[in-house]
């Protein structure tokens, strides 16, 4: 799946993950591994490329906000099922201090790729933070054994980060 066009211009500018001024460049750090839990209805569109953006909007700086970068590995798991796919993050746009008007602009600009629908956007209208993630190389997997076990421990988080990857990143920064 290719990101075929740059997104439309919004009346505000996203904070681009990785701190690069060139939003299309890949990071120089080692990738972090994540688990993304999604509603089962989004699996087929994600795998086919019809849903080309994953959006996470919320009241606080909850992961993946500030935690995911281009080049990271994301395992995809439908709610209540096993992990079914692996993807590489191509692009991340993050927005903060959002207003209801900003949320409406995000909807108008990206909903054809997010596939959120009316109910989704209504429930997110009071979000302060948004993370939009574009993937490449989404591949189906048949065996969960390649997924770090820590990510598969049940909890209430719909986005999980492999802690060993975070510790490795911190160790490399300190060195």
pLDDT tens sequence across 1-23:
334 444 445 556 665 554 444 44
State phi, psi for 104 to the nearest 5 degrees.
-65, -40
Domains within the chain, CATH numbers bracketed: 25-169 (2.30.130.30)
Count Cα atoms within 13 angstroms, Cβ side, for 6: 5
Q: What is the arithmetic mean of pLDDT over 45-55?
A: 96
How far apart are alpha carbons 113 and 91 in whole angstroms? Answer: 14
What is the value of pTM for the model shown?
0.80
Q: Could you tell me the pLDDT band of residue 61, with boundaries at 50, 70 and 90?
A: very high
Averaged pLDDT, 22-43 = 81
- pLDDT at 165 exceeding the cut of 80: no
């Amino acid at each position: 799946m290719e990101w075929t066009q740059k997104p439309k211009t919004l009346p505000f500018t996203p904070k681009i993950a990785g701190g690069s001024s060139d939003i299309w460049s890949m990071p120089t750090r080692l990738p972090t591994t994540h688990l993304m839990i999604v509603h089962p209805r989004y699996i087929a569109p994600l795998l086919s490329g019809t849903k080309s953006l994953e959006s996470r909007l919320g009241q606080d700086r909850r992961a993946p906000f500030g935690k995911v970068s281009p080049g990271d590995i994301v395992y995809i798991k439908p709610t209540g099922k096993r992990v079914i796919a692996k993807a590489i993050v191509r692009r991340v746009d993050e927005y903060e201090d959002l207003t209801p008007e900003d949320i409406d602009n995000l909807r108008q600009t990206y909903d054809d790729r997010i596939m959120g629908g009316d109910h989704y956007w209504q429930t997110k209208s009071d979000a302060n933070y948004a993370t939009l993630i574009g993937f490449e190389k989404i591949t189906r997997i048949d065996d969960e054994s390649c997924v770090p076990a820590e990510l598969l421990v049940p909890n209430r988080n719909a986005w999980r980060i492999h802690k060993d990857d975070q510790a490795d990143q911190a160790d490399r920064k300190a060195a």
